[in-house]
Amino acid sequence: MNEVSLTARKRKGTGKQVAKRLRRDGKLPAVIYGGGKDPLSLELDYVEFVAFVRKHRGENVLINLKIGKAKPKTAILRDVQRDYIKDGLIHAEFQQISLTDRLTATVAVVLVGVAPGTGSEFGGILEQSQRELMIQ
């Protein structure tokens, strides 16, 4: 798995108005949970996170979240909420993981090349029944 570093800050306050203010200021509300600890509300730089999402779309990457001066937390991106009307991101969710425990993840199935019998000279069609697999 690839590893990427992101910088975050602890977020003061929760709720709709706080989230709106953060987005207006160029930040993205986020949360990290798991690891046997209470969820922690965060704020990320919007531009940095959008660049990360575009670069690693559909990939499961390990993220080293640097939160203030604390030791970086290893996490994976679990969910990104989008605003489809304004074409932007609303919220991100991270799950803190331990590198020694088993992890269940969904990975994309990407077909590469041309399957025998489906080329233009044969006229066949390849139907992909599964686009994702759950692995451990």
Model confidence band, residue 3 (pLDDT cutoffs 50, 70, 90): confident
What pLDDT is attached to residue 54? 87
Which H or E run includes 21? helix 16-24
Q: Which pLDDT band holds residue 2 (cuts at 50, 70, 90)?
A: confident
Q: What angle do CA 56, 61, 63 make, to 5 degrees?
A: 105
Assess contact for 40 and 32: CB atoms under 8 A. yes
Q: Give me the pLDDT at residue 112, please.
A: 82
- Helices (runs of H) and strands (runs of E) counted in the chain: 2, 8
Kindly report, residue by residue over 70-119, the tens digit of the pLDDT: 899 999 888 899 989 988 899 999 999 888 788 777 777 888 877 777 76
- pLDDT for residue 92: 93
Question: What pLDDT, on a 0 to 100 scale, did the predictor assign at position 132?
Answer: 82
Residue 1 has pLDDT above 80, yes or no: no
Cβ neighbours, 10 Å, residue 5? 11
- What's the pLDDT tens digit per position in 30-65? 999 987 888 999 999 999 999 988 888 766 788 999
- With b for 16 or more beta-carbon neighbours within 10 A and e for fewer, the 45-64 pattern comes to bbeebeebeeeeeeeeebbe
For residues 75 and 40, give the distance between their C-alpha atoms in angstroms, rounded to a whole number.
13
The continuous run of DSSP H or E covering 47 comes out as: helix 46-55
Report which residue type is found at 104: T
Which domains does the chain show, CATH number per domain?
Answer: 3-101 (2.40.240.10)
Token representation of residue 8: 């975050």
**How many angstroms separate the CA atoms of 46 and 32, rounded?**
16
Residue 52 to residue 46: CA distance in whole angstroms:
10
